[in-house]
Structure 1
Amino acid sequence: MSLEQELGTLAIEIATEAGALAHARRSEGVSIAASKSALADIVTEADREVEALIHKRIAAARPGDGFLGEESDAEPGTTGITWVVDPIDGTVNYAYGIPSYAVSIAAVSGDPDPRTWTALAGAVYAPALGEMFHAVRGGGAWLGGRRIAVNGEVNPAGSLLATGFGYDPASHAPQLALLGRVMPLARDIRRIGAASLDLAYVAAGRLDGYFERGLNPWDHAAGVLLVQEAGGVAVGVPGAAPTREMTIVGNATLVERLSQVLFSGAAPEVGRAE
């Protein structure tokens, strides 16, 4: 078994256990532990408990690896591998009982920085929906036992796109302005509320593309690998990898069009050849 396969198997196993815990805690009722960047940006007691479980399982299986989680400080390792974890992505959905939330776990090599790391394995598990999306570098992207792929064509009727909005009210007007630029390319817009699922759905062809500002490394580490292994493209600002500044995913043609619109302000006609 290759290192990538070993890491991928472990990611699936831990995501499955962590997802079961999150799902069980949701059925028992949700306790809000704190707010983070804004009043609307919450963390539940379950977030912390699930991340602690993931951390414990990884430390037991691979004690020299680093760890970067949403609810804890970064811990450097000695193996060159870091686990990038969002214990419950879509916490507001989770708190309200909306089933669109997921456990996102990725293993990356190099510094734990999305501008330079190499993602080796990832799993995005939606326990309330019973869906496990997973990938290893060079091994394709999968939904359970079925291989998945991004939509390979740009539909003349427009693309089904997803995006998200930050919790800081000051960010809403600029984000809505970006959405206005993109609308001429869109058949419609979806706002799922969990970046890892947006990315997984692009990988599975349920969405044509996705863009968002303000994502943290744990939001997209596993999902970007899914998209890439499903035959898609993931970029940030022009010439860079996805970062907090921007994440854009889809097939190559759509990503190029979205990048042009988002960074130039010009909106091409729907279906226009580039």
Structure 2
Amino acid sequence: MSPDPVALSESLLDLAMRAARAAGAELLSRYGTVSGLDAKSSATDPVSDADRAAEDLLVAMISGERPRDGFVGEEGAAVLSLSGITWVLDPLDGTVNYLYQLDNFSVSVAAEDAQGAVVGVVYDPVRNLMFSACRGGGAYRNGLQIHCAPAVPAALALVSTGFGYSAPRRAAQGAVIARVLPLVRDIRRIGSAALDLCGVAAGATNAYFEEGVQRWDIAAGGLIAAEAGATVTTFTPTGVATGVLAAAPALHDELRSLVMTAAELAGVRD
């Protein structure tokens, strides 16, 4: 007999929340002490022992309760699923903020099936904020339902974004932002894609877009934003392989057009 979908979602969400809290506690226990610092894709793309320890904890805790599930993790977790459920993990989203003690970092945990994310959790351990969602069940912050802000014209939109780690990509993204900035209320650069998506979900910002994000960056936050009423789509204005745009539906379409035009005028489309 197949498991009841609602019961399965609730079970997965409970595990995701417990695991994210445990990983957040691990990060806080190491906060302010940098060890095992290495670079990944570039000298400005760091990884530390804190990232690795948090991912190890997440994998051990989840696999201890669900040994047939698969894993995809930013720091190397890669296990093929035997159950149809794959956990997509970002143990420390916002590593640069973490290293500089700027507080804006999170643990991102999503469980996916063949149709995409079933549950998603983004935990901000500094502020003890737990963002969560089940597919079809709405989005929540510390147990209270949240909704994205009503759509506003792009000229009144507070938009968050992020930048890649390579110098050429940053140059292209900077050229686009230079043209977008005069056309919106303002730009924010928070430094954690997962928290950016949750900011849209909670109405703290009107929109978020970024290129170069990976599956683990947006799996949980994307579900949370969508369940809060945002439109979340793939978006690559300079033509790189990956990207995301999240905003209330009417603003989403206007902002997509505005940013695409900015990229064309800046001459940075691949």
Mark yes or no: TM-score above 0.5.
Answer: yes
The aligned counterpart of 1:271 is none
State whether residues 131 and 140 of structure 2, in contact with CA within 8 Å, keep that contact through their aligned partners in structure 1: yes
Check if 1:226 corresponds to 2:224: yes
The aligned counterpart of 2:12 is 7
Pair 232,6 (structure 1): closer, same or farther in 2 beyond 3 Å: same
> In 1, distance between residues paired with 2:188 and 2:257?
21
> In 1, distance between residues paired with 2:10 and 2:92?
24
Match of 2:26 among 14, 21, 24: 21
> In 1, distance between residues paired with 2:118 and 2:263?
36
The aligned counterpart of 1:113 is none
State whether residues 74 and 89 of structure 2, in contact with CA within 8 Å, keep that contact through their aligned partners in structure 1: yes
State whether residues 32 and 42 of structure 1, in contact with CA within 8 Å, keep that contact through their aligned partners in structure 2: no
Check if 1:72 corresponds to 2:70: no
> In 2, distance between residues paired with 1:201 and 1:66?
29
User: Which residues of 2 match residues 22-171 of structure 1 at below 5 A?
Assistant: 22-27=27-32, 29-110=33-114, 117-155=115-153, 158-171=156-169
Match of 1:183 among 168, 181, 184: 181
Secondary structure in 1 matching 2:185: strand
Unaligned runs of 5+ in 1: 111-116, 268-274
State whether residues 87 and 103 of structure 1, in contact with CA within 8 Å, keep that contact through their aligned partners in structure 2: yes
Identity over the aligned pairs, expressed in percent? 43
The aligned counterpart of 2:171 is 173
> In 1, distance between residues paired with 2:81 and 2:144?
34
TM-score (norm 1): 0.89
Offset of residue 254 of structure 1: 1.2
Pair 157,68 (structure 1): closer, same or farther in 2 beyond 3 Å: same
Secondary structure in 1 matching 2:199: helix
> In 2, distance between residues paired with 1:73 and 1:18?
15
Pair 19,149 (structure 1): closer, same or farther in 2 beyond 3 Å: same
TM-score (norm 2): 0.90
Secondary structure in 2 matching 1:2: helix
State whether residues 73 and 216 of structure 2, in contact with CA within 8 Å, keep that contact through their aligned partners in structure 1: yes
State whether residues 215 and 244 of structure 1, in contact with CA within 8 Å, keep that contact through their aligned partners in structure 2: no
Letter in 2 for 1:187: R
The aligned counterpart of 2:268 is none
Cα offsets for 1:63-115 (capped at 9, x unmatched):
111100000142111111100000000001001111100000000112xxxxx
The aligned counterpart of 2:214 is 216
Secondary structure in 2 matching 1:72: coil
> In 2, distance between residues paired with 1:234 and 1:76?
27
Pair 167,7 (structure 1): closer, same or farther in 2 beyond 3 Å: same
> In 1, distance between residues paired with 2:222 and 2:104?
18
Secondary structure in 1 matching 2:78: coil
Offset of residue 9 of structure 1: 1.1
The aligned counterpart of 2:203 is 205
The aligned counterpart of 2:255 is 258
Offset of residue 35 of structure 1: 0.3
> In 2, distance between residues paired with 1:205 and 1:40?
30
> In 1, distance between residues paired with 2:130 and 2:191?
18
How many residues end up aligned between the 2 structures?
256
Cα offsets for 1:166-216 (capped at 9, x unmatched):
111111111012213422441111000110000011100001000000001
> In 2, distance between residues paired with 1:67 and 1:135?
19
RMSD: 1.8
State whether residues 260 and 266 of structure 1, in contact with CA within 8 Å, keep that contact through their aligned partners in structure 2: no
